[in-house]
Structure 1
Amino acid sequence: MSIIEQNKLEPVSLKDVTINDHFWAPRRKINREQTIPFQYKQCKETGRIDALKLNWKQGDPEIHPFWDSDVAKWIEAASYSLATDPDAELSKLVDEVIELISAAQQEDGYLNTYFTAVKPGKRWTDLRDAHELYCAGHFIEAGVAHFQATGKCSLLDIVCRYADYIDSVFGPEEGKIKGYPGHQEIELALIKLYHVTGEARYFRLSQFFIEERGNEPHYFTEEKKKYGPGYFEELFSTFANLKEYNQSHKPVREQDKVVGHSVRAMYMYCAMADLAKENGDEKLREACDRLWNNLHYKNMYVTGGIGSTAEYEGFTCDYDLPNESAYAETCAAIGLVFWNHRMLQLDCDRKYADALERALFNGVISGISLDGKKYFYENPLESLGEVHRKEWFGVSCCPPNISRLLGSLGQYIYSQSDSEAIIHLYVSGSAKFKLANQEIKLNQTTNYPWDGNVSIQLEVENPVSFALKLRIPSWTKSAGLKVNGEMVSLENILDKGYVRIEREWKNHDQIELILPMTIEKVYAHPSVRQNRNHVALQRGPLVYCIEGIDNTHYLSQLSLPRDKELTAIFDQKLLGGIVKIVGNGEITEVYDSEDLYQTKPFTTKSFEMTAVPYYAWDNREAGPMKVWIPES
């Protein structure tokens, strides 16, 4: 048995998890009541939904090749919401859109509005650029989510027909296309479809797309020779290495450095982890490990944001992490959550849950306003005051992506094996596990992320033996544990950053986890040239920033003395109720002179600095922002 097979976990089903805390529950409520209806309106008004009617004609505004994916992600987000909070009106709306999708599907199973209405006869001629398989993947994910949420097969049957058709077109067999998507996505979607249907052909097709990528002769080179320039030829002609841009520069098992477009990379790595888990494939897992190390140790922002350049929405070189020009696309941080969640099921190692949590609490939810109506496509770590969230985008992948993550949040909190119940994230609510032939319920009570005290109570019908594992986040330095009121030493029960308590559990047994939250000053690796002599502030899982509204509109003149203490204060009235950080900073006094340069050093004066969680910036009046603060 491989290491992967020994350690395999399964997430607890979304339907078996409830969330009723003060941090996530309000956001999920806003997602249900504001965001999902608003996104439907945007998809309707911008023509994305009506494009499914296939009545486009020459002279009309052109349907975008990505549009199907936006509609599919909206259905997926709505389905997750229906799974936990049934809503007859939303269900009816989803059914209406599914009817349009059904009518748009061709007799052979093909389903794509752009290539059916705008470019008929051009199917599969632009895999590199036109997102045909990417859109198919999002339809498949939506079909799986809708079936799991509602039990209805209406969309699942549609996507199975489409997947069957795609399987008849692509593969290693004689006469089939030996290509793969320019934008990865369908690979992970097919694994989901395989899990729901048990149809092995979907698994093999996912495996084909992954294993074929990067082989010679290079498919995209041959495609261009055969069919001519792709949809984005003008843009892509400016890229130094287009093969690296879409991670087709070498076979996936040989890749060891994150390159190219960050979202494409994350979705591909997700599929690699899925396949490694299904097959017990150690070599594929080793490739994931190499890529994970390169990303997390050399190419990730302190917020969990990834992809530093807007030029091609991706990675540049190791340790290149500019702040003001940081791209850090919301979709990329979401992809990082997806990938770390999959790695966590392969191996219950704290580093994956820590990375998931960092991205989730910082780089992901910064992408949506507190009222759930505006979005960041990119998430800089510094702004002069000109960067603001918007209601929608021409390419609007991020809004429905963040909505589907919020809707499915419950499945990221817990996992289980045959003999273990595992808590990765601390969120008030409950979860049901099937262990030792009975249902076990865990009830969490906590004020996380403002407080690190977590209380867990068990509900069991009969005394039962199993192991309970609790993550000790790397940001806490002196965790404590009590079982039924008695202190328990962590010395011999830590397993890759998780406390493992194996015993016979009885009804109403109580576990208390104490995770002290102190204000930490974070320093970047010296090779990150942009952050030399700067410091970032973190408390618990949250990264902080300073905004002009709380401090001064000349944030560049503010610094933090190394030896001054900082204080955490809960402010119920600020930004929906947050813990802010306050302390003595220093601000440079500017002489009354118009000279741009001078030989006399400037002096400083004390200044009361206030920092707020990074996710909450740009929710008040416009102004500058900084994560990394000069240290004096």
Structure 2
Amino acid sequence: MNTEHSLASSSPLDLRAVHIQDQYWSSFVNLIRDTVLPYQWEAMNDRIESAEPSHVIRNFRIAAGLEAGNFGGFVFQDTDIYKWLEAVGYSLAVTPDADLELIADEAIALIASAQQEDGYLNTYFAIAEPGNRWTNLMDCHEMYTAGHLIEAAVAYYQGTGKSALLSVAKRLADHIDGQFGDDPGQLRGYDGHQEIELALVKLYEVTGEENYLKLASFLIEERGQQPNYLVEEWEKRGRISHWSPGVVQNNHQDLRYLQAHKPVREQEAATGHAVRAVYMYAAMADLALHLGDESLLAACKRLWSNVVHKQMYITGSIGSTHHGEAFTFDYDLPNDTNYSETCASIGLIFFARRMLQLEPSGEYGDVMERALYNTVTAALAIDGKSFFYVNPLEVFPAAGRGNPGKHHIKSVRQKWFACACCPPNISRLLSSLGQYIFTSGPDVLYTHLYIGTDTTNLTLAGRNVSLRLESGLPWNGHVRLRVASAAGNGVFSIAMRIPSWSDQTAFTLNGSPVEPEIRQGYAYLTHDWQEGDVISLDLDMEPKRIYAHPNVRANAGRVALQRGPLVYCFEEMDNGSSLPNLILPADADIRLVHIGNSVALHAEGFRQEDSDPANASLYRTSSLKLEKQSIYAVPYTQWGNRKPGEMLVWIRE
């Protein structure tokens, strides 16, 4: 396989080269390291009182022959510890911690002891169905689970230099490479849940072994081909699903749900399970990048456009139905029944970062920022010990309790989940946050996110450069990028993303106004940069009224508020109950106020009240009356951290 035709215009910086020091984001990074990772370790050991059991550590002990027992949890339960170890690897790369590293090393030794002689590793099939390996790719997540192991191994190797887990991952990847492909005797299959594809690209990047890139490409290209492998496999099993043992089905799983309804290059719209989709799109972008594949890049752009312009919520979340945690159809974006799984927004961020490597376009950075500042952080409680799996835009607690169609909508974060994919996914993203701020090419540095860094070290135009980024976001729009040191002389460019929410952005260089070259949402300043040079940006932080496309029926007659990267919401404790009865006048002034440590928004509006409270009729001819009321909005990312109650993003105007 020839990998010399890369389309990459830039690459992420080494995580160890970026040191986050930010008034807003440092608290998240520290919370993950100091609280969330230890808490999740306790959860995986089933030591959190009244939380859903994890089973994951015990499963590995049983698979390794260290204790007797039955498998517990879902078929993909192993992934909880793999994502946790990936997060630990990122954290150790930035902040060494001997105690945490010792715990991780012991966990890795346990994992290695459960690996079978031929390299296969999966505790479910080791314990529950040892004779059925690779017989149910549609349902059983074997490659998905392997993918998370591979990602953990790469991160831990890069963060610590230790190769024990990487050796485990390579043995498993080599086993899979021997089982799957288009050579005689191999299976022409692919997993029902994508993940291994992007993981194999990471394994290729760290090892240089092209067979891993070739396998990733095979798994992507084989998907959706006819005859369909997953359907043939289902027929061979007697039309029985893992999820309904012993029940012969008339119809197989909808292939659109698995993104296997047609070859990936022919897919035009996002369908099916949202997490599977964006993990696949991220892998497609990876392969387009490494292989210089313009056709695959065109498919990525087409799918990106459909997701972002027709199926994404204002908070950067995706997946509008809880039935299959899935996309539905264009512009179908209900607020009070949507799923918007946290993992899906994280996958969208993965996709966006890869598209930025292919093409520095402001829209990719805007979406990455939107999902990060809103959905991902909203899913994590401020104490780091509870989580949202689902991220609705409207919450009425009584409906969540009493309406079966809304049981997935919660007003209180949960301590853990039987299917706990989201908590460690949050940990691995926020632990690796330094890889999303910048990318660089030979002679250009792209700044995608305005997250403060103490030092960032890299090579540009053959020069060793050190930079410091200061940012007031999300509370103020002042940004400064300082050249702390720059050895030698030579021209290079610094490209700064101009956020779409900033209507007026002012630039200065060393205190003097400048007009940079603007291309695709980035401002380019080219200079023979020297120590002490400073670029300053002043971003427009005026609160904005946001209106949905008229085809989004759920938001007809409604408006949302945004300031900077933050989307705002209305909570019951600030505005009283029955939030849908609030009305924000179109001409109301929106002012900044402070609620706790947060910049909140305030306006004078109305509440629609019953004009005849003595009338008990469900329907009546008398109109409702309007009462004046002060209305307050707080950042969506912070909702549900004070007192449980109603929440609303889109308010009547």
Structure 1 residue aligned with 2:626: 604
Residue 109 of structure 2: aligned partner:
99
More displaced, 139-148 or 422-431?
A: 422-431
Contact 1:56 1:118 in 2 (8 A): no
Q: Matched residues in 2 for 1:427 and 1:59: separation?
A: 47
1:588 aligns with 2:613: no
Q: What residue is the counterpart of 2:513 in the other structure?
A: 487
- In structure 1, the residue matched to 2:647 is 625
SS at match of 1:89: helix
Give the C-alpha shift of residue 246 in structure 1. Answer: 0.4
Q: Which residue of 1 aligns with 2:23?
A: 22
Q: Deviations over 1:563-612 (max 9, x none)?
A: 111012344xx1xx211001111111223232222222222121111100
Confirm or deny that 1:138 pairs with 2:148.
yes
Deviation at residue 52 of structure 1 after TM alignment: 1.0
2:243 equivalent in structure 1? 232
Task: Select 2:580's aligned residue among 556, 559, 567.
Answer: 556
Tell me the equivalent position of 2:475.
450
Assess if the C-alpha contact under 8 Å between 2:339 and 2:392 holds in 1. yes
Alignment of 1:462 onto 2:488: yes
Contact 1:263 1:335 in 2 (8 A): yes
Which deviations, in whole Å up to 9, do the C-alpha atoms of 1:539-576 show, x marking residues without a partner?
Answer: 011100000001111212111000111012344xx1xx
Q: Is the CA contact 1:327–1:378 (under 8 Å) kept in the aligned structure 2?
A: yes
Match of 2:407 in 1: none
Partner SS for 1:444: strand
Give me the TM-score of the superposition, normalised by structure 2: 0.93
Asked whether the equivalents of residues 315 and 375 of structure 2 are also in contact (C-alpha less than 8 Å), the reply is yes
- Mark the CA change 1:243 to 1:473 in structure 2 (over 3 Å): closer, same or farther: same
CA distance in 2, matches of 1:49, 1:434: 42
Q: Deviations over 1:344-403 (max 9, x none)?
A: 100000000001001111111111111111111110000013522101111110000011
Counterparts of 2:241 and 2:253, CA distance in 1:
16
Distance in 1 between residues matched to 2:41 and 2:365, nearest whole Å: 32
Query: Residue 283 and residue 129 in structure 1: after superposition, are their counterparts in 2 closer, same or farther (change >3 A)?
Result: same
Tell me, what secondary structure is at the counterpart of 1:615?
Answer: helix
Structure-1 separation of matches of 2:610 and 2:275: 44
- CA distance in 2: counterparts of 1:612 and 1:241, whole angstroms: 41
Q: Which residue of 2 aligns with 1:78?
A: 88
Identical-pair percentage: 45
TM-superposed CA distance for 1:12, in Å, is 1.0
Cα deviation per residue 1:10-33 (whole Å; 9 max; x = unaligned)? Answer: 011111101111111011111111
Question: Using the alignment, how far apart are the partners of 1:323 and 1:236 within structure 2?
Answer: 36
Task: Say if 1:455 and 1:539 are closer, same or farther in 2 by CA, change over 3 A.
Answer: same
Q: What is the distance in 1 between the residues matched to 2:66 and 2:135? A: 21
Specify every segment of 5 or more residues in structure 1 that has no aligned partner in the other structure, as ranges.
Answer: none
Equivalent pairs counted in the alignment come to: 625
Distance in 2 (CA, whole Å) between partners of 1:473 and 1:75 is 33
2:487 and 2:263 mapped to 1: Cα distance? 51
Give runs of aligned pairs for residues 390-429 of structure 1, distance below 5 A: 390-429=414-453
Q: 1:142 to 1:339 in 2, by over 3 A?
A: same
Q: Does residue 318 of the first structure (1) align with residue 330 of the second (2)?
A: yes
Residue identity matched to 1:614 = Y
Match of 1:438 among 459, 463, 475: 463
Name the CA distance, whole Å, in 1 between partners of 2:289 and 2:74: 35
- 1:394 and 1:238 map into 2 onto residues whose CA distance is 29
* AA of the residue aligned to 1:587: R
| Equivalent-residue separation in structure 1 for 2:146 and 2:20 (angstroms) | 31
- SS of the aligned residue for 1:316 comes to coil
In the alignment, the residues of structure 2 paired with residue 453 and residue 26 of structure 1 have an alpha-carbon distance, to the nearest angstrom, of 19
Within a 5 Å distance, the mapping from 1:153-192 to structure 2 comes to 153-192=163-202
Q: Which residue of 1 aligns with 2:260?
A: 248
* C-alpha distance in structure 2 between counterparts of 1:506 and 1:219, whole Å: 58
1:201-223 Cα deviation digits (max 9, x unpaired): 00000000000000111101111
Q: CA deviation at 1:40?
A: 0.8
Q: Residue type matched to 1:175 in 2? A: G
Deviations 1:24-59 (A, max 9, x none): 101111111111011111111132012112149997
Letter of the 1:480 counterpart: A
Give the C-alpha shift of residue 462 in structure 1: 2.8
What SS does the corresponding residue of 2:211 show, helix, strand or coil? Answer: helix
Name the residue aligned to 1:48.
56
Q: Is the 8 A contact 1:570 1:578 kept in 2?
A: yes
> What is the alpha-carbon distance in structure 2 between the residues aligned to residue 109 and residue 432 of structure 1?
38
CA distance in 1, matches of 2:124, 2:66: 9
**1:490-501 maps to which residues of 2 (within 5 A)?**
490=516, 493-501=517-525
**3-state SS, counterpart of residue 528 of structure 2:** strand
Letter matched to residue 40 of structure 2: Q
Q: Which amino acid aligns with 1:518?
A: E
Whether 2:471 is the aligned partner of 1:471: answer no
Deviations 1:45-89 (A, max 9, x none): 132012112149997364531111111001001111111111111
Relative to structure 1, the CA distance from residue 239 to residue 383 in structure 2 (aligned partners, 3 Å threshold; closer, same or farther) is farther
Question: What is the Cα deviation at residue 240 of structure 1?
Answer: 9.1
* Deviations, residues 460-479 of structure 1 (Å, cap 9, x unaligned): 13333101100000100010
- Cα pair 1:7 1:348 within 8 Å, conserved: no
- Opposite residue 305 of structure 1, the aligned amino acid is S
Q: CA deviation at 1:238?
A: 10
Distance 1:192 1:152 in 2: 16
CA distance in 1, matches of 2:249, 2:497: 47
Which letter does structure 2 place at the counterpart of 1:474?
A: S
Give the whole-Å Cα distance in 2 for the aligned partners of 1:237 and 1:534: 44
Evaluate the alpha carbon distance shift between residue 115 and residue 57 of structure 1 in structure 2; reply closer, same or farther with a 3 A threshold: farther
Contact 1:345 1:415 in 2 (8 A): yes
**1:253 & 1:410 partners in 2: Cα distance?**
32
**C-alpha separation in 2, matches of 1:473 and 1:363:** 18
Does the CA contact (< 8 Å) of 1:130 and 1:230 recur in 2? no
Shift of 1:6: 5.9
1:601, 1:71 → 2: CA distance? 57
Q: Are the equivalent residues in 1 in contact too, given 2:444–2:492 (CA < 8 A)?
A: yes
CA offsets 1:104-133 (integer angstroms, 9 cap, x no match) = 011111111011111111110011101100
CA contact (8 A) 1:62 1:118 kept: no
CA, structure 1 residues 453+323, in 2 after alignment: closer, same or farther (shift >3 Å)?
A: same
Does residue 538 of the first structure (1) align with residue 562 of the second (2)? yes
SS at match of 1:549: helix
Check whether the contact 1:112–1:135 (CA below 8 A) recurs between aligned residues: yes
SS of equivalent to 1:442: strand
Pick the aligned partner of 1:508 from 527, 532, 539: 532
Q: For the structure 1 residues 238 and 309, does the alpha-carbon distance in structure 2 shift closer, same or farther, using more than 3 Å as the test?
A: farther
Deviations 1:429-482 (A, max 9, x none): 131121122211111112111111101110213333101100000100010000
Is 336-345 or 596-605 further displaced after alignment? 596-605
Say whether residues 1:193 and 2:203 are aligned partners: yes
Identify if the C-alpha distance between structure 1 residues 186 and 61 changes in structure 2 by more than 3 Å, giving closer, same or farther. closer
Shift in CA distance, 321/241, structure 1 to aligned 2, threshold 3 Å: farther
Alignment of structure 1 residues 271-290 onto 2, 5 Å: 271-290=283-302
Counterparts of 1:238 and 1:554 in 2: how far apart (Å)?
45
Q: Among residues 49, 67, 70, which one is paired with 1:60 in the alignment?
A: 70
5+ long unaligned stretches in structure 2: 47-53, 401-409
Q: How far did 1:136 drift? A: 0.2
Q: Distance in 2 between matches of 1:507 and 1:375?
A: 44
Distance (whole Å) between structure 2 residues aligned to residue 435 and residue 249 of structure 1:
44
Residues 216 and 158 of structure 1: CA distance in aligned 2, closer, same or farther (over 3 Å): same
